[in-house]
Structure 1
Amino acid sequence: MNPSLSFTPPHLQGPCPEPVRRRHVFYIPGYDPEARTRYRHLFVRELNRHTRRFGEERRAVSEPQISPDGLAQSWTVAAPAGAPGAETAYDVLLWDDIVVRDFRRSRLVSVALLLAGTLHALAAGLLFRFYRLNWKYGNVIVYPFAMVVLLTLLSVFLGTMVHAHLGDWFGHSMGLPIYLSLPLGVAAGIAWIKGIEAFLNRIFFWQLLNDWVFNWQHGQGWRPDYERRLDAFAGHVLARLGARAAAGERVDEVMIVGHSSGALTAVEVAARALAREPGLGAQGPALSLVTLGSGLPLVAMQPRARRLRADVASLVTQRHLVWCDFQAPQDWMNFPGFNPVRHLALGLCGQPVANPLIRSARFRDVLSPETYARVRNRPFRMHFQFLLANDRRGAYDYFAMVLGPQRLRERVLAPIIGPDPAPLAAAG
């Protein structure tokens, strides 16, 4: 384990050896316009691969159900009959409708917002801080801005050439008057951008552009639609747990999981749920928070993101919560080595630090050399490895974490690797 990445809070509470028999997972996807179709398919496909690769018992997965308010897509995974493991209720909390509205925004408006956000981040020194944390993610942030500049220059060049050849610039031109050749040149410069729309989507141009704009707007406090959704998510978590308690259903662990931009959402939802129900995690089921490939610094480091930093501070000192942040140096779109206690001005005033546990997912160890060579230069594929089946057993295993018998704290400090009940020695 990389000692500069791994971190164990000094005031982490002691272990709880009792196995988890029932778990409720609230999974929050990242900035994805296709969340309600993607993550159910991804979960079932990768769970099947996981069971085949490691010879585990196949587990029944129920049909998905959408909640009446449209906030969640839910299913259950049965406990294995002949091996340790938890019966797991799995809720995907949906905010893809917000993302879709962003994608439907005028392209010119999106580009204008990108330029404003990038120039603001440059002037505030944020881009330099992001580059110091992870130069690869710095390149991902700058990529849409650089593409806008490049596409603009190419459009101007193409439009100028069309105008020149249609007008009176060259002897072999068509000799059209300027009031015709100039608009046709402009139209040509715009038309070719529309013509390569599918290509731009394949290289994730609009995805990364809108994602960065969203994070910048959120850091400025300009996303009331997202703020309302955070409150609704916290309400959904508490309502679901309240309904299970009222029905007499015992739940051993509640796990809030967020991936990518959803890791930021998971932090905010956990903080709001605890603010409404301070006893959450103290009585009843253990409360766990998992952030995977997080982009938390993109918002938390913005000067105006005071509420988010207050939320992080409340979780850092929360003794009734276990928060683990899994990072990966091989992933371009996270910040390996980032520790909110060190890198954010949280104003803890000497309060003891209980969170987060920080660990590497160690993709080099859990992927075969062939798989690693194939995906190492595919940033989005590597970014999603946090949610995919491993090739090899390892301390980081998404399905062992959300479906296995260990609570998050024990899974991180002394994970059981494979079917034998022998925990791996704690690392780092």
Structure 2
Amino acid sequence: MTSAAPPIVIAKRRVMYIPGYDPVPPRAYRERYRRQSAKQAALSGYAIEIAPRSAKGRFGWRIAARMEEASTDTDLEVMVWADIVRASMDQGVLASYAQLARTAWAYIGSGALFRLMRLRKGPVIAALYPVMVLLLQAVLALALGFVIYTALLASGFYAVQSVTHAPLARPWDLILLLCAGLAGLASIGGFLRWCQRRDHLLAWYLMHDYAFSAQAQGAYPSVQEARMAEFADAIADALKSDTDEVLIIGHSSGAYIAISVLADLIRAGRVPVGGPALSLLTLGHVVPMVSFLPRAHRLRADLACLSNSDALTWVDVTAPGDGCSFALCDPVSVSGVAPEGKRWPLVISAAYSQSLRPETWAALRWKLFEAHFQYLNAFDNLPGRADDYDYFRITAGPKSLAARFAGRAPSPARIERAVNRYTKLAA
């Protein structure tokens, strides 16, 4: 199946943005786009205006842009699954620690963790970080509980003896032991609950993120499959509309969701010949965190399906400065499912150290989460080539994804060696 060649100038575009594992409401993405597009427009000398979305449906906004001597109207829609994320994070303290143990075993017991470390250590460290923090918090909680227990016990014995001038007798000693024990347990639970709610270190959030991916050893949970089917229907409708390009963007965990959704559409024959150009942009992907697990048969099959399809254009953008992604790792090849004749993705680097000013990069490089979202932000030191990565030219400019990166060579630093132990495409 071959989609129609895109027009020379994209006058109308539909963008479907699939966020990663993020509980924030979709308006946060609109505000980021509004702020950062204005900043990039001022830096690059083009014009972008944001307006409310007129079409009914999911949350989104309209973009009117004038750049590269052409005008383009874009309808951007956020494919929301934050409610699923919030539900998966709504766990008590004991349930969260049980989740931690299951997730650690999923990666260690399967051997996936050790193979992931052969790719990039950054995301593996990000996976181990919540384990260490939560275990440290558990040790501190136990220490606090012990201190409170012994302090109450000692003060209780002293108070009784100072009044009676006699050793404590049963049943009062048992009552005092019970009360001190309950107070110690309450302090343990209260401290851990406080850590979970405040989560300034984002350790609990990260733990839930990896636990969501690993809960079924790489298979998608039913609630996620149902939402992905809704996404597929929305994209299929967009492909029937009067638009020049349908651009799907998957960020972080949203990258593998986008891959599976588009593979479903292509296999079902729902990408019309002669319809709008179909484009996929994956940003800061974490595909191996799922595809390296034993039961990720579906995702591996979807990767293989897209990798040699002529129904779409697929560009994958990561950056070595993003410690939360598998930077420059070709998600198809490293997963061990690259078929003969593989065409996609085109793997390129956002090159933070070059596309950001030194002072900007110095301020960003230790802000790990903001670095992971930099793909959606303005770049203040773009070299100025036509094929530079510019999120706002891609989403609102007059060139399709295929045209913008036509002739662009893949990053020479990309990793393509097959590392995955599990390569079966069917259960």
Cα shift at 1:391: 0.6
Q: 1:82-128: per-residue Cα shift (whole Å, max 9, x none)?
A: 82242211111111111111122333222211211112211111111
Instruction: Please give the alpha-carbon distance, in whole angstroms, between the structure 2 residues aligned to 1:295 and 1:426.
Output: 19
* C-alpha contact (below 8 Å) 2:328/2:411 kept by paired residues: no
1:19-418 to 2 correspondence within 5 Å?
Answer: 19-57=9-47, 59-64=48-53, 67-68=56-57, 72-80=58-66, 83-168=69-154, 177-197=176-196, 199-200=198-199, 202-217=200-215, 219-221=217-219, 223-242=221-240, 244=241, 249=242, 251-280=243-272, 282-346=273-337, 348=339, 350=340, 352-394=341-383, 395-413=388-406
Query: 2 CA distance for matches of 1:267 and 1:426?
Result: 19
Instruction: Find the aligned partners of 1:236 and 1:376 in 2 and give their Cα distance.
Output: 37
Aligned-partner Cα distance in 1 for 2:99–2:307: 33
1:384 to partner: Cα distance: 0.6
Question: Structure 1 counterpart of 2:42, which letter?
Answer: R
In 1, the alpha carbon distance for the partners of 2:6 and 2:301 equals 29
SS in 2 for 1:78: strand
Name whichever of 393-402 and 104-113 sits farther off: 104-113
How many Å separate the matches in 2 of 1:173 and 1:289?
Answer: 72
- Inter-CA distance 294–192: structure 2 relative to 1 (3 Å threshold): same
Write the deviation string for residues 155-196 of structure 1: whole angstroms up to 9, x where unpaired. 111111111111149986888721111111111122222334
Distance 1:66 1:34, change over 3 A: farther
Q: Is the 8 A contact 2:112 2:292 kept in 1?
A: yes
> Which residue does the alignment assign to 2:415?
none
Contact 1:15 1:410 in 2 (8 A): no
**Separation (CA, whole Å) in 1 of partners of 2:196 and 2:96:** 15
- AA aligned to 2:358 is P
Counterpart CA distance in 1 for 2:73 and 2:55 is 20
Q: What is the rounded CA distance, in whole Å, between the counterparts of 2:68 and 2:245 in structure 1?
A: 21
Question: How far apart are 1:366 and its partner, in Å?
Answer: 1.3
Q: CA deviation at 1:206?
A: 2.2
- Paired with 2:68 and 2:260, the residues of 1 have a C-alpha distance of 38
**Equivalent pair of 1:76/1:87 in contact (CA under 8 Å):** yes
Secondary structure of the 2:405 match is helix
Equivalent position amino acid for 2:283 in 1:
L
Task: Look up the SS of the partner of 2:179 in the other structure.
Answer: helix
The gaps in structure 2 that reach 5 residues or longer are: 162-172, 413-427
Higher-Rg structure is 2
Note if contact 1:133-1:337 (Cα within 8 Å) is conserved in structure 2.
no
Q: Is the 8 A contact 1:263 1:291 kept in 2?
A: yes
Query: Deviations along 1:336-378, whole A, 9 cap, x unmatched?
Result: 2322343223273x3x111111011111111111111111011
> Partner amino acid for 2:214?
W
CA distance in 1 between counterparts of 2:3 and 2:346 reads 12
Conservation of the 8 A alpha-carbon contact between 2:10 and 2:398: yes
Query: How far is the alpha carbon of 1:31 from its aligned partner?
Result: 0.8
Is the CA contact (8 Å cut-off) linking 2:93 and 2:196 kept in structure 1? no
* Contact 1:31–1:211, Cα closer than 8 Å, also in 2: yes
Equivalent residue of 2:70, what SS? Answer: coil
1:195-218 CA-partner distances (Å, limit 9, x unpaired) = 344541x22122211111111125
- Using a 3 Å threshold, how does the CA distance of structure 1 residues 66 and 73 change in structure 2: closer, same or farther? farther
| AA aligned opposite 1:290 | L
Q: Residue in 1 aligned with 2:424?
A: none
- The range that moved more, 405-414 or 156-165, is 405-414
Aligned equivalents of 1:222 and 1:340: distance in 2? Answer: 18
Q: CA deviation at 1:219?
A: 4.0
Report the aligned-residue RMSD: 2.7
Q: Which runs of 4+ in 1 moved over 6 A?
A: 12-17, 169-176
Partner secondary structure for residue 109 of structure 1? helix
**C-alpha offsets along residues 241-283 of structure 1, whole Å, 9 cap, x if unaligned?**
32x2xxxx2x222111011111111111111222233544x42
Letter in 2 for 1:141: A
TM-score if structure 2 supplies the norm length? Answer: 0.85
Give the TM-score normalised by structure 1. Answer: 0.85
